Structure 1
Amino acid sequence: MAALANRQDGADGRVVVIGGGVVGLACALRLRLAGVDCLVIDPMHDGQAASWGNAGHIAIEQVAPLASWATLRSLPRRWFGRGGPVDVPRPWSIAPWLWQFLRACSPRRHAAGQQALRGLLADAVPAWRRLLQDIGRPGLLREEGHWVVWESADSERRGLAAWLDGDIGEARATPLADRALAMLQARLDLPLRAGLCFEGSAQVSDTGKLMRALREALLDRGGQWLRAGVAGLAHADGRAGIVLDDSRRIDADRILIAAGPGSRSLMADLGEHAPLIEERGYHLQWRNHDWPDLPPLVFEDRSVILTRFDGGLRLAGFVEFVPPGLPPDVRKWQRLRAHAVALGLPVRGEPEAWCGARPTLPDYLPAIGRSRTAGNVCYAFGHQHLGLTLAAVTADRVLTLLDDPEGASAVAPFDLQRFAD
């Protein structure tokens, strides 16, 4: 990493990361561990980003991008109005994104995306293991897999066919043991038909603890953190500088855009198109509960995932495509609460309600690469449901991308140029 660490052709040889979510933090920390001066500019408050509100699941089994004909065929039964998890409240407002999603569903593009995603996911858990060991916090990663269960014969049939016949990467799936199923049944009010036990996947012990640990590790090792809004990028003579909301300008040898949904406008400042959309998720979390210490549990009939964290029991779900600024839909929290009641979850008191936006591109692949118009800018965003899963391996790829002139070849499938074709 000496080539990058010793560069002085920019302002001061440092890398400035725009975005303090899990992807931006992991990238900044990996750079700092390699000896690179690093500043993170975070425009959001703790708890707002999807990094804080996700299910905590390291989902290496999610190899097939959601942009597919299979997803399209399943939409009628997965629509929110029919009890499912998918909602598009104002489809006309995201029509260009929806058109590109349809194009990405072609068998050729889907197969190429699946191959590219499979390569990232294969190293997702090892990359997290390395990063957390490097900062002395290996206990934040729990490599105990996860469980999937079904309540009806029809969902069991569809679910088994999808998981056992599909590509689940490095994960392994076996029938959930009768003893485990009986243990779950004793704690729930609804009968369960069957389940699968996935090995190879993982979870973090608590999303809040993880985010704080990454930030503390960055600061302890000499990295910098600035809580500030970013007005945009000033672009001239093939380089870019950062303009803050208070009109201050920050220059850097390298800039990494990892600002989640906000990355779209930053790339537009450089004259580059990033067709991002806000794909919102919701959760309820109870501090007081009697749920045992089990791996994440997916109730596929309800399209929700239940995760026990150090800080409480979280029930999460929904895929809601919205334009920026639309208020949260309280019906989603009401639906989650209804699921909790129907399942008979052993929870007490009022839950904390959260809603946050996942940055999602039409083909459900992340964007990782170099700007074509500003030579000092790279980017890493658009990880959709897999931001937590792919953060550490993305950090490894970004390290190579910044230091190696040939590093772009390793992330070629994730270059934004794919949307210009």
Structure 2
Amino acid sequence: MANQYDVAIAGSGIVGMSTALWAQRRGLQVAICDANAAGSGATFGPACTMATYACVPINSPSVVTSLPSLLFSKNSPLTVNYWYAIKNWRWMLSFLMNCRSSRVEAIGTQLGALLREADAGLDPLIEEIGAEDLIVEEDCLYVWATKDGFKDARQGIELRRRQGVAMQEIGPDEIRSLEPNLKMPMYRGLRFQGTRYILHPQKLVERMQNHFMRNGGTVIEKAVSSVEAAAERVTVHFHDEDTLTSGHFVVATGAHGKSIKGAGVESLPLGVERGYHVTFANHRNKLSRPVGWAEAGFYATPMELGLRFAGTVELDALSAPSNPNRITYLRRRAKEMFGQLDGPSEEWLGFRPTMPDALPVIGPSQKSERIIHAFGHQHIGLTLGGLTGRMVTDMVTGQAPNPDASGLSGKRFGFL
């Protein structure tokens, strides 16, 4: 390819496409590189909450104390392939070290700073592409079925308060008045105020790509195999031996970042949380908003395609086959939540990019300042995708990103 771009981006999920639009808004010539359809990866399958309240990391002291039940209970939202865990023992140890109370507070503070700016990163793009019809403004509920579960969550609730999250603690009667179709046990709930959710995330990203192309952006339907950084440019190599050059290169390929040689991702502790969802096409009207069942580890969300149950965590390799037990778990818990449902219309497995400290990696690679990392958003990629795109564009154009990204660079893992 003879063309030279200001920035080339690997990955056409919410992070990559948001970066492309923000860069285009700044007058840059941009190329998106992805062999797969826009928004068809991890962006396609989450619970679709715009979770600006999600400053509590998955790391917590209660994870350590609850490990036996998390590992062995049939009702656990966690599944671990023990051979995978042994092979990745450094990641596991680092994750546990980040479960200390002091680390959870520090991580929550960093996440809070990002989440307070999340809407400012995504809303201008939603308006620009005319996607307001895909966004529903409705408070989100998070429900605990047991007293012990709510007690274990108290530290996280107080962390949310310190980060200024707008929420109201409510009891079973109010939960039922808001969502009368819920049938599982209820002890307490949180009503997160002023929140929103997305009816169809892939449609959102497809509209982003269409707008990007109409405004002169280039989409290259190929996967990047490797990159080489020089003083003033980056050479991008594809698997068919074709190349392009760009002033900067952005890695926004989520859990697949290590597949790009020379980008500096291979030295980072990028892990994968395999997440599942099932969708029931005929039951969208069961809910008027997303409802998270805390102990069960998933959300139920009324979406364009139906009622989606999305969540849980499986620690296993990217290449491992889908685990039918995870789908069975979601179907069984969905029945506990609502009673008998029709058979699901869709079953899905996706891959969350996850770092052992629950923070994304946003910043320059150790290989070169011209290679920028933008991945590792774990459960909140859809929420932070727009903001990440704005921050990355700031870096490309030599501006200081807002909020501060100094603690988000992959260089924080230099000891691993």
Question: With structure 1 as the length reference, what TM-score do the two structures score?
Answer: 0.89
* Higher mean C-alpha displacement, 392-401 vs 266-275: 266-275
User: Is 1:71–2:69 an aligned residue pair?
Assistant: no
SS at match of 2:312: strand
Count matched residues.
Answer: 411
C-alpha displacement of 1:85: 0.9
Distance 2:403 2:124 in 1: 23
Contact 1:148/1:196, CA 8 A, preserved across alignment:
yes
Partner of 1:23: 15
Distance 1:375 1:174 in 2: 44
Partner of 2:249: 255
Q: 1:162 to 1:253 in 2, by over 3 A?
A: same
C-alpha displacement of 1:20: 0.8
SS at match of 1:327: coil
Partner of 1:410: 404
In structure 1, runs of 5+ residues without a counterpart are 1-9
SS at match of 1:380: strand
Contact 2:143/2:291, CA 8 A, preserved across alignment:
yes
Partner of 1:6: none
C-alpha displacement of 1:191: 4.1
Partner of 2:160: 167
Distance 1:196 1:64 in 2: 14
In the TM superposition, what whole-angstrom CA distance separates every residue of 1:317-370 from its partner, at most 9, and x where no partner exists? 211111231111110001111112222357434320000000111111111111
Contact 1:164/1:173, CA 8 A, preserved across alignment:
no
Contact 1:171/1:200, CA 8 A, preserved across alignment:
no
User: Is 1:120–2:114 an aligned residue pair?
Assistant: yes
Q: 1:56 to 1:180 in 2, by over 3 A?
A: same
Q: 1:209 to 1:407 in 2, by over 3 A?
A: closer
Distance 2:294 2:91 in 1: 27
In the TM superposition, what whole-angstrom CA distance separates every residue of 1:215-272 from its partner, at most 9, and x where no partner exists? 2221222212122122222355685321111111121111111111221343655486
Contact 1:185/1:192, CA 8 A, preserved across alignment:
no
Alignment of 1:347-366 (within 5 A): 347-366=341-360
Distance 1:84 1:124 in 2: 31
Partner of 2:6: 14
SS at match of 1:255: strand
* Higher mean C-alpha displacement, 350-359 vs 374-383: 374-383
C-alpha displacement of 1:108: 4.6
Contact 1:129/1:141, CA 8 A, preserved across alignment:
no
Contact 2:233/2:248, CA 8 A, preserved across alignment:
no
Q: 1:383 aligns with which of 361, 377, 382?
A: 377
Distance 2:337 2:72 in 1: 19
Contact 2:227/2:262, CA 8 A, preserved across alignment:
no
SS at match of 1:167: helix
Distance 2:74 2:262 in 1: 37
User: Is 1:208–2:208 an aligned residue pair?
Assistant: no
User: Is 1:232–2:226 an aligned residue pair?
Assistant: yes
C-alpha displacement of 1:305: 0.6
User: Is 1:40–2:52 an aligned residue pair?
Assistant: no
SS at match of 2:52: coil
Letter in 1 for 2:207: A
* Higher mean C-alpha displacement, 347-356 vs 297-306: 347-356
Q: 2:306 aligns with which of 287, 305, 312?
A: 312
C-alpha displacement of 1:135: 2.3
* Higher mean C-alpha displacement, 71-80 vs 120-129: 71-80
Contact 1:18/1:42, CA 8 A, preserved across alignment:
yes
Question: With structure 2 as the length reference, what TM-score do the two structures score?
Answer: 0.90
Distance 1:333 1:285 in 2: 11
In structure 2, runs of 5+ residues without a counterpart are none
Q: 1:259 to 1:314 in 2, by over 3 A?
A: same
Contact 1:124/1:392, CA 8 A, preserved across alignment:
yes
Letter in 2 for 1:20: S
* Higher mean C-alpha displacement, 84-93 vs 50-59: 84-93
Letter in 2 for 1:77: S
Letter in 2 for 1:38: V
Distance 2:74 2:113 in 1: 36
Contact 2:225/2:261, CA 8 A, preserved across alignment:
no
Contact 1:60/1:201, CA 8 A, preserved across alignment:
yes
Partner of 2:276: 282
Contact 1:289/1:346, CA 8 A, preserved across alignment:
no
C-alpha displacement of 1:52: 0.4
Distance 1:408 1:144 in 2: 27
SS at match of 1:284: strand
C-alpha displacement of 1:57: 0.9
SS at match of 1:252: strand
Q: 1:179 to 1:128 in 2, by over 3 A?
A: farther
Q: 1:409 to 1:98 in 2, by over 3 A?
A: same
In the TM superposition, what whole-angstrom CA distance separates every residue of 1:125-165 from its partner, at most 9, and x where no partner exists? 23222221122222333232200223334334444x34543
Distance 2:368 2:303 in 1: 41
* Higher mean C-alpha displacement, 269-278 vs 178-187: 178-187
Distance 2:327 2:139 in 1: 27
Partner of 1:57: 49
Letter in 1 for 2:241: S
Contact 1:145/1:203, CA 8 A, preserved across alignment:
no
* Higher mean C-alpha displacement, 44-53 vs 265-274: 265-274
Q: 1:320 to 1:418 in 2, by over 3 A?
A: same
